[in-house]
Amino acid sequence: MRFDILALFPLAASAVNIISSNDDGWAEANIRAIFDSLGAADHSVVVSAPAENQSGKGSKEEEPTVLDKACEFDSCPSGSPAVGFNASEPRLGYVNSYPVTSIQYGIDTSGPKFFNGAPDLAVTGPNVGSNIGLTVFVSGTVGAATYAAKNDIPAIAFSGASGSPTSWDSPRPDYSEVYADLATNLTNHVVAAGKPYLPKDTWLNVNFGKVSEECASPADFSFVLTRIHTAVPLVSGDDVTTCGDEARLPTELKVSLASGCYASVSVGAADSKRDASAEVQGVVLKKLGNLLTCLP
């Protein structure tokens, strides 16, 4: 089932050039769904993702190598070159290496061929499975996003609680469509707020809750501003004040356990994969505006 995001949500103020990657592999259904959804919103998207599932590889880097076996889901044959692309859609590309190496290739090499310059924005995922709290340190989806942010490209890492690795040529799951359209909605809000799309060296960690009978469409979900890690007294810096007099933003974990249909949005510092300062959180809060809600 395809949801009509153009009817549900406003488009971005202008189309931008987006480099897309993940750690589940270039042939996984979620990255193909977000490619289609962002494209339907008139953005120019180029995928540069691992040839194989590289989940849990964090920020590792390695020179790409020739394929000694077929790509995941037999999406390219054994012996294929270290980097390649889909013959019928050259914007869909693979790199036989880790997620960070893959997005690096997209930023430096494959993306500029289509963008005539550097990408404006990087999106990674939607990851198959949540990336909440300490998992950000080992997630390749997060590693790719933080690499982009450290190289002056605003970045958003998307993850979803529902699903399992699914081939690009299998019937596309409903959750893939829901997550892709939610990701496009948030991306459009960031772009519509104007440049700089995010503060320097900043990335967003976005986790979508499970898709279910109650949470079946993008319109069912609400976004909540959160923090990645549990605050440590006398150690953690302050959070931006929102949702009344709460001194702390809720954690991603708290939102994931809440009753309802929610997506958490955390503001991270790219160099540490920890929470950004209250000042930086505040910039993002203003950009996302009425997209955000509070937990009951």
Helix (H) or strand (E) holding 285: helix 278-288
Q: According to the model, what pLDDT value does residue 14 have? A: 80
**How many CB atoms within 10 Å of residue 8?**
14
274-275 vs 262-269, strand pairing mode:
antiparallel
Please choose, from the candidates 73, 13, 66, the residue with its C-alpha nearest in 3D space to the C-alpha of residue 41.
13
What are phi and psi for residue 148, nearest 5 degrees? -60, -45
Is residue 292 within 8 A of residue 225, CB to CB? The reply is: yes
Three-state DSSP class for residue 126: strand
Cα–Cα distances in angstroms (integers) from residue 21 to residues 1, 93, 108, 287, in the given order: 24, 9, 14, 24
Q: What is the pLDDT along the chain (296 residues), one digit of tens a residue?
A: 444 444 444 444 589 999 999 999 999 999 999 999 999 999 999 999 999 999 999 999 999 999 999 999 999 999 999 999 999 999 999 999 999 999 999 999 999 999 999 999 999 999 999 999 999 999 999 999 999 999 999 999 999 999 999 999 999 999 999 999 999 999 999 999 999 999 999 999 999 999 999 999 999 999 999 999 999 987 888 999 898 777 899 999 999 999 999 999 999 999 999 999 999 999 999 999 899 999 99
Cα–Cα distances in angstroms (integers) from residue 241 to residues 49, 97, 114, 274, 276, in the given order: 37, 41, 41, 18, 14
In the chain, what is the straight-line distance between the N-terminal and C-terminal CA atoms, in Å? 31
Domain 17-293, CATH number (from 3.40.50.300, 3.30.530.20, 3.40.1210.10, 3.40.50.10310):
3.40.1210.10
17-21 vs 83-85, strand pairing mode:
unpaired
Is residue 85 within 8 A of residue 94, CB to CB? The reply is: yes
- Domain residue ranges in the chain: 17-293
Is residue 218 within 8 A of residue 170, CB to CB? The reply is: no
Is residue 64 within 8 A of residue 97, CB to CB? The reply is: yes
Is residue 263 within 8 A of residue 208, CB to CB? The reply is: yes
Q: What CA–CA distance (Å, rounded) separates 73 from 91?
A: 19
Q: According to the model, what pLDDT value does residue 234 have? A: 77
Q: What CA–CA distance (Å, rounded) separates 288 from 296?
A: 19
Is residue 211 within 8 A of residue 162, CB to CB? The reply is: yes
Q: What CA–CA distance (Å, rounded) separates 265 from 148?
A: 18
Q: According to the model, what pLDDT value does residue 13 have? A: 53
